[in-house]
């Protein structure tokens, strides 16, 4: 094993030069000694772990600090290079690799000498310290053994505060008794210097030391004379500082005391590390136990909340009067009580059955059910279900909501709103609207027919009076004719001389009245014809219409062949769901309206195109325009702005009825008089398209 091998090494080398390493190996090999070339941190870690005590290092900048860290970790360093002011007498220094053997032996001898005097006590103290796992007890024992080992009046163990890098003391052993929980900023005092530099220090006269902190003396009344302090180094990291003090009344510490402290610190460092780890593990374990208890409590509370929420949801679900079901496609997973009441089954017997079987008594999905098309479709429809108890159908508005965004998940919640009463009311409303429309139409028709009938009747009465006035002259004329045939000239002359003179103006007036009456009769005929068109409510066979062909055909019929003021923009590519004949009729009314609105041959544009599911037809003119208040009345029966006798006002009404009956829409727009008007028809797209007709 690597740890076992390095534990038997005679020394470690901290050198950068490969050639120098080779020369050191030759010298050691001749004496059957072994060495290993490592970096600085590895050397510190190996020494701290007790694998080796002798470290050979070459001269380099900053060597003094590293040597102190080696000594603090318990090593005896040997410097390869010329002596200098940074090399103390306690450190072996040689100029050439050939002199290393003697220096290594001297270093080992120094180790043996130190260990001979204090090895037993240090080993004993290390064993006692290692047995302490609680940090407070470890600190107390370490300080007590430090006082004993260094023959000190007081001792303290300062630990690094990880968050600030400063030192803290929980308590002091002897000397400055009474000091508790002292915080030292980073680098402050002798201990702070030792922690920052990572090397041990011997201060023979603390009162003259520039970085000695006197605050502890002022608090405790103790007068510090001499100090020895060594860093607790483990794996290259400083964990704290072990420090011993003597008062000014005692003799100062010697290097031997510092060496003893340095020998003890690796064991204290390991014990502190283990105690901290143990404490951290215990804290973590306690936190885990507390967290587990808290988690169990929260799980219990959450379970209770979920249980209450489930009960609340179920009761809320059942309190809703509308039938609701949660389904996987058509298969029911859960329903509320309203659903069970609607289908007349216990709520527990419904799950697992298909919705159309339970709700509509059908073997297949209901007509118009949006679930047939699957995801991506709007889940809204109106369905009809048989109602055996009432002997009629019931109508429901179906609404659905997908429970997941996963396209493979068919979970859906559906609701049914009973709109049967709304259907009945809507049917009654439609019946009322039909009756109102019939009444309005009858009233309008009566009004429109009464106008021509009025002057026809008046003309007939006037003609009767004229005929009465012409009766005597006509009888005289008849007698004259008879007398003339019998050659009774004297009687003729006498009769003519006494007969009244007829007024010939009556004949002209009578002819004019007859013409007016004929015109009135024609107008009544037109009204009857328009009413007959409006009465054609049947749509007939729904054949798709080619709107482009219908527009071309009706433009020729109403406006003539290639009229110069007409522009056709035929961009529709799909058939419309309207019978071609009815589309022709509606377009004919719009084109006639546009022709009458453009007396000066203003421009007329007819367009066709499609938008989504609609086919659009638009007739736009630049003629007379429509007053704003008349826009909402243009489709009313008998509404016209052309004056008496120039229109009956049923053309746009007929177009409106045709478009609405096929499910389309028609709209009129105008910016006012003189600004033209636009009529737009929206027709549903035919389901079956004839490619030949569209092409």
pLDDT, tens digit, 9 for 90 and up, residues 158-177: 888 888 888 877 666 665 55
Q: Return the DSSP state at 545.
A: B
Which residue is associated with the tokens 């420090």?
243
Give alpha helix (H) positions in 214-254: 215-220
Two structure tokens written together for 303: 């379970």
652: three-class secondary structure by DSSP: helix
Q: Return the DSSP state at 354.
A: B
End-to-end CA distance of the chain: 90
Quote the pLDDT of residue 608: 95
Question: With contact defined as beta carbons under 8 Å apart, do 255 and 90 qualify?
Answer: yes
Two structure tokens written together for 531: 């009413």
Pick from 527, 597, 509: which is nearest to 558 by CA?
597
Residue 56 clears pLDDT 60, i.e. is over it: yes
Question: With contact defined as beta carbons under 8 Å apart, do 250 and 226 qualify?
Answer: yes
Task: Give the whole-number percent of the chain exceeding pLDDT 90.
Answer: 7
DSSP string, 267-303: HHHHHHHHHHHHHHHHHHHHHHHHHHHHHHHHHHHHH
260: three-class secondary structure by DSSP: helix
What tens digit of pLDDT does each residue of 416-439 get?
888 877 777 766 665 555 555 555
293-300 own/partner pairs: CB under 8 Å, 24+ apart = none
Residue 304 clears pLDDT 60, i.e. is over it: yes
Whole-model pTM: value is 0.35
Quote the pLDDT of residue 618: 95
Rounded Cα–Cα distance for residues 479 and 499 (Å): 11
Quote the pLDDT of residue 620: 93
Task: Give the whole-number percent of the chain exceeding pLDDT 70.
Answer: 79
Quote the pLDDT of residue 343: 84
Q: What residues are paired with 14 via a beta bridge? A: 57
Quote the pLDDT of residue 619: 94
Rounded Cα–Cα distance for residues 489 and 495 (Å): 10
Rounded Cα–Cα distance for residues 660 and 648 (Å): 21
Higher pLDDT, 183 or 476: 183
Which residue is associated with the tokens 């020394």?
11
Rounded Cα–Cα distance for residues 135 and 275 (Å): 5
Pick from 80, 86, 85: which is nearest to 101 by CA?
80
CB atoms within 10 A of CB 340: 18
Question: With contact defined as beta carbons under 8 Å apart, do 324 and 419 qualify?
Answer: no
What confidence tier does 604 reach under pLDDT thresholds 50, 70, 90? very high
Residue 413 clears pLDDT 80, i.e. is over it: yes
- Among 208-217, 320-329, 639-648, the minimum mean pLDDT is found in 639-648
Higher pLDDT, 89 or 313: 313
For 617-626, what is the mean pLDDT? 91
Give alpha helix (H) positions in 375-419: none
Higher pLDDT, 24 or 385: 24
Question: With contact defined as beta carbons under 8 Å apart, do 637 and 649 qualify?
Answer: yes
Rounded Cα–Cα distance for residues 642 and 278 (Å): 106
Two structure tokens written together for 80: 């390869």
Rounded Cα–Cα distance for residues 412 and 371 (Å): 9
Rounded Cα–Cα distance for residues 454 and 517 (Å): 10
Query: Angle, to 10 degrees, between the axis of helix 135-150 and the axis of helix 100-130?
Result: 130
Q: By CB neighbour count within 10 A (0-12 exposed, 13-18 middle, 19+ buried), where does 26 fall?
A: exposed
Alpha-carbon distances of 229 from 19, 239, 260, 374, 459, rounded to whole Å: 38, 13, 11, 82, 141
Alpha-carbon distances of 555 from 14, 550, 561, 636, rounded to whole Å: 107, 9, 8, 25
Rounded Cα–Cα distance for residues 20 and 104 (Å): 17
For 261-274, what is the mean pLDDT? 84
CA atoms lying within 13 Å on the CB side of residue 268: 35
Q: Which residues contact 221 (CB under 8 A, 6 or more apart)?
A: 176
DSSP string, 109-176: HHHHHHHHHHHHHHHHHHHHHHT--SHHHHHHHHHHHHHHHHT-SEEEEEEE-TTTS-EEEEEEEESS
For 450-459, what is the mean pLDDT? 70
CA atoms lying within 13 Å on the CB side of residue 214: 9
Quote the pLDDT of residue 2: 34
For 109-117, what is the mean pLDDT? 54
Alpha-carbon distances of 287 from 150, 284, 291, 302, 538, rounded to whole Å: 40, 5, 6, 21, 84
Higher pLDDT, 293 or 639: 293
Rounded Cα–Cα distance for residues 10 and 126 (Å): 23
What tens digit of pLDDT does each residue of 543-592 get?
788 999 999 988 988 888 888 899 999 999 889 999 888 888 889 888 98
Question: With contact defined as beta carbons under 8 Å apart, do 150 and 264 qualify?
Answer: no
What confidence tier does 7 reach under pLDDT thresholds 50, 70, 90? very low
Mean pLDDT, the chain, rounded, equals: 78
CA atoms lying within 13 Å on the CB side of residue 506: 14
């Amino acid at each position: 094993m690597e740890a076992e091998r390095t534990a038997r090494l005679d020394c470690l080398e901290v050198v950068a030069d490969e050639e120098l390493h080779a020369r050191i190996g030759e010298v050691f090999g001749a004496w059957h000694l072994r060495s290993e070339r490592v970096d600085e941190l590895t050397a510190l870690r190996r020494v701290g772990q007790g694998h080796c005590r002798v470290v050979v290092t070459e001269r380099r900048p900053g060597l003094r600090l590293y040597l102190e860290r080696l000594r603090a970790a318990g090593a005896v360093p040997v410097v390869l290079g010329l002596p200098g002011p940074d090399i103390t007498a306690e450190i072996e220094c040689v100029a050439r690799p050939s002199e290393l053997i003697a220096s290594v032996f001297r270093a080992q001898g120094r180790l043996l000498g130190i260990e001979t005097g204090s090895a037993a006590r240090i080993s004993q103290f290390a064993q006692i310290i290692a047995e302490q796992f609680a940090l407070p007890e470890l600190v107390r024992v370490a300080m007590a053994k430090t006082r004993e080992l260094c023959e000190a009046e007081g001792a303290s163990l300062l630990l690094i505060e990880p968050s600030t890098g400063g030192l803290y003391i929980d308590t002091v052993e002897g000397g400055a008794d009474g000091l508790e929980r002292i915080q030292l900023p980073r680098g402050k005092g002798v201990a702070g210097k030792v922690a920052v530099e990572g090397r041990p220090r011997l201060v023979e006269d603390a009162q003259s030391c520039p970085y000695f902190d006197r605050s502890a003396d002022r608090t405790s009344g103790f007068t510090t004379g001499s100090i020895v302090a060594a860093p607790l180094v483990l794996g290259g990291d400083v964990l704290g500082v072990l420090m011993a003090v003597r008062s000014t009344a005692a003799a100062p510490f010697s290097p031997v005391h510092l060496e003893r402290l340095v020998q003890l610190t690796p064991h204290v460092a390991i014990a502190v590390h283990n105690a901290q780890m143990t404490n951290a593990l215990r804290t973590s374990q306690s936190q885990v136990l507390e967290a587990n208890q808290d988690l169990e409590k929260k799980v219990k509370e959450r379970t209770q909340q979920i249980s209450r929420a489930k009960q609340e949801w179920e009761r809320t679900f059942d309190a809703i009067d509308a039938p609701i079901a949660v389904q996987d496609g058509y298969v029911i997973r859960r329903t509320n009580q309203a659903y069970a009441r609607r289908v007349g089954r216990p709520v527990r017997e419904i799950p697992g059955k298909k919705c159309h079987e339970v709700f509509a008594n059908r073997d297949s999905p209901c007509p118009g059910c949006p679930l047939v098309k699957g995801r991506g479709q709007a889940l809204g429809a109106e369905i009809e279900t048989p109602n055996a108890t009432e002997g009629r159908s019931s109508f429901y508005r179906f609404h659905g909501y997908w429970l997941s965004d996963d396209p493979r998940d068919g979970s859906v919640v559906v609701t049914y709103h009973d709109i049967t009463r709304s259907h009945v009311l809507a049917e009654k409303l439609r019946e009322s609207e039909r009756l109102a429309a019939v009444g309005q139409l009858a009233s309008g028709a009566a009004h429109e027919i009464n106008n021509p009938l009025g002057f026809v009747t008046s003309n007939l009465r006037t003609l009767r009076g004229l005929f009465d006035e012409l009766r005597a002259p006509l009888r005289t004329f008849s007698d004259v004719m008879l007398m003339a045939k019998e050659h009774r000239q004297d009687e003729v002359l006498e009769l003519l001389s006494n007969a009244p003179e007829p007024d010939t103006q009556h004949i002209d007036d009578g002819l004019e009245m007859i013409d007016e009456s004929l015109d009135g009769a024609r107008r009544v005929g037109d009204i009857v014809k328009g009413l007959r068109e409006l009465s054609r409510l049947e749509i007939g066979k729904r054949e798709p219409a080619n709107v482009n062909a219908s527009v071309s055909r009706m433009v020729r019929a109403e406006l003539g062949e290639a009229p110069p003021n007409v522009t056709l923009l035929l961009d529709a590519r799909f058939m419309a769901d309207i019978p071609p004949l009815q589309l022709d009729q509606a377009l004919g009314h719009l084109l006639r309206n546009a022709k009458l609105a453009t007396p000066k041959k203003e421009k007329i544009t007819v367009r066709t195109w499609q938008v989504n599911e609609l086919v659009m037809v638009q007739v736009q003119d630049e003629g007379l325009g429509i007053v704003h208040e008349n826009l909402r009345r243009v489709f009313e029966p008998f509404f016209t702005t052309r004056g008496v006798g120039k229109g009956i006002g049923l053309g746009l009404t007929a177009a409106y009825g045709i478009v609405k009956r096929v499910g389309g829409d028609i709209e009129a727009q105008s910016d006012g008089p003189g600004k033209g008007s636009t009529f737009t028809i929206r027709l549903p797209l035919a389901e079956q398209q004839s490619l030949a007709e569209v092409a």
